[in-house]
Amino acid sequence: MIQILENFSLKSYNTFGLNAVARYFAPFNSKESLVEILSTDIFARSQRLILGGGSNILFLKDFNGIVVHPENKGIEIIKENASTSLVRVAAGEEWDDFVLWAVNNNLAGVENLSHIPGCVGAAPVQNIGAYGVEAKDVIHEVTIFDFKKNRFDILNKDQLHFSYRDSVFKHEFKDACIVVDVVFELSKKHVYNVSYKGLDSKLKECAIVNLQTIRNSIIEIRNEKLPDPKIQGNAGSFFKNPVVEEEDYLRLSEIFDDIVAYKLDNRTYKIAAGWLIDTLGWKGKYHRDAAVHDKQALVLVNKGNATGVDILQLSKNIQDDVFSKFSIILEPEVLFV
Ligand SMILES: Cc1cc2nc3c(=O)[nH]c(=O)nc-3n(C[C@H](O)[C@H](O)[C@H](O)COP(=O)(O)OP(=O)(O)OC[C@H]3O[C@@H](n4cnc5c(N)ncnc54)[C@H](O)[C@@H]3O)c2cc1C
């Protein structure tokens, strides 16, 4: 039995804590209830938004359409051999509950992605990443409901066109499907990825390196660095790290010897957006109740009564400043609705 709620406040469904109201809100907990929602007149005639944990979304106003919200649960091993397990995880599972499950079951691959907020269904959309690992490294296939074909379908890894915080779901499949579950390929033979700056030194404090100590170390680092959305509304990194040509990187590194950048290949570098913003002195600056976090320049926070428009304005001021001083365009990582 489905329920489509009307004039539903999304305040506790977005980590900025913005009080946007959805004209309709439709949670589902099974494939059957999803199909029921998708067969309604309301769905057919409304603008649509799929909303997981709302940890990468900025609501600029009320949403005059239907919000479909996965609440389906389930984590199961569907196939295994001596070295790997294929694990199907429902879109409505909390991402970090899945990471905890993997660590407890001694399966490697997602431990570096510990403590990222949000639901499993968004992981392939965003190609979430942290500490040198991205979702694409472990995703095997994704089950979607395709709104055009009006049926469930499976997309394998090659069809997902992953790149940095990007996937097919932001292009060909934008607003055209919902992720229902994700199959991950996790490893029984552990190869740890612990070279990332900060993680290596934290792990030196541990007697042994294993999935659990990597997870604990990452949670500690994240808690030290990032504001807790339950205390101060935010969506993690607001901007993507810009990728620039080598000549632009060399131009900047001649002027700024402390530039934070990573070589991607022979021609391109990824520059830390947080460094660009911090260098221009934005930490702690604000526009009305929207502020740049005082410890982490890449994170914009709601000091209490910010609107989505306040946060957007602050982000535009930062983008303009970065462009005028560095000639670099900062692209938001967060989706504006
Ligand atoms: C404190 C904090 C720290 C963070 N750290 C990181 C980090 O280290 N690395 C990182 O990559 N991200 C990070 N994020 C961003 C965020 O957690 C991720 O982008 C996460 O995957 C978003 O999940 P969600 O369920 O909240 O998605 P939402 O914000 O609800 O949605 C994000 C996008 O995915 C779409 N979507 C969601 N679910 C589905 C579905 N089932 N089917 C189809 N489309 C769907 C939405 O329509 C939207 O376009 C952080 C955020 C916060 C608040």
Lining ligand 1 with CB less than 6 A are: 15, 49-57, 70, 91, 116-119, 121-123, 125-126, 128-130, 169, 178-179, 226, 229, 234-236, 335
- What's the CA gap between 246 and 267, in Å, rounded? 5
* pLDDT exceeds cutoff 90 at 275: yes
* pLDDT exceeds cutoff 90 at 70: yes
Residue 45: count of CB within 10 angstroms of its CB: 9
- Residue-wise pLDDT for 20-53, tens only, equals 999 999 999 999 999 999 999 999 999 999 999 9
302 or 197, higher pLDDT:
302
The whole-model pTM stands at 0.94
Main-chain phi, psi angles of 172, to 5 degrees: -55, -35
- Residue-wise pLDDT for 95-106, tens only, equals 999 999 999 999
Q: Are 141 and 157 in contact (CB under 8 A)?
A: yes
Average pLDDT over residues 186-199: 87
- If you take atom 6 of ligand 1, which residue's CA is the nearest one? 116
- What's the CA gap between 277 and 248, in Å, rounded? 17
Q: Are 231 and 224 in contact (CB under 8 A)?
A: no
Average pLDDT over residues 308-317: 97
Q: Which pairing describes strands 151-156 and 139-146: parallel, antiparallel, or unpaired?
A: antiparallel
Angle between helices 95-104 and 211-225 in degrees, nearest 10 = 150
Residue 206 CA to ligand 1 center (angstroms) comes to 30
* pLDDT exceeds cutoff 90 at 1: no
Residue 335 CA to ligand 1 center (angstroms) comes to 9
206 or 72, higher pLDDT:
72
Catalytic residue among 165, 167, 215, 315: 165
Q: Is 237 a catalytic residue?
A: yes
Q: Are 170 and 62 in contact (CB under 8 A)?
A: no
What is the reported pLDDT for 194? Answer: 85
Which one of 1.20.140.10, 3.30.465.10, 1.10.10.10, 3.40.50.300 gives the CATH number of domain 75-224?
A: 3.30.465.10
Residue 47 CA to ligand 1 center (angstroms) comes to 20
Q: Is 324 a catalytic residue?
A: no
Residue 127 CA to ligand 1 center (angstroms) comes to 9
- What's the CA gap between 217 and 337, in Å, rounded? 34
What is the reported pLDDT for 84? Answer: 97
What is the reported pLDDT for 110? Answer: 97
What is the reported pLDDT for 201? Answer: 85
Q: Which residue has the tokens 């067969």?
A: 39
Main-chain phi, psi angles of 69, to 5 degrees: -125, 110
pLDDT band at 197 (very low <50, low <70, confident <90, very high): confident
- If you take atom 50 of ligand 1, which residue's CA is the nearest one? 236
Residue 259: count of CB within 10 angstroms of its CB: 17
What is the reported pLDDT for 288? Answer: 95
* pLDDT exceeds cutoff 90 at 196: no
- If you take atom 47 of ligand 1, which residue's CA is the nearest one? 50
Residue 163: count of CB within 10 angstroms of its CB: 11
Average pLDDT over residues 124-134: 94
Q: What is the mean pLDDT of the chain?
A: 95
Give CATH for domain 228-336.
3.90.78.10
Can you give the residue ranges of every domain in the chain? Answer: 5-70, 75-224, 228-336
CA 319 to chain centre: 21
Partners of residue 156 on adjacent β-strands = 141
Q: Are 47 and 65 in contact (CB under 8 A)?
A: yes
Residue 102: count of CB within 10 angstroms of its CB: 26
Q: Is 48 a catalytic residue?
A: no
Give CATH for domain 5-70.
3.30.43.10
What is the reported pLDDT for 93? Answer: 98
* pLDDT exceeds cutoff 90 at 112: yes
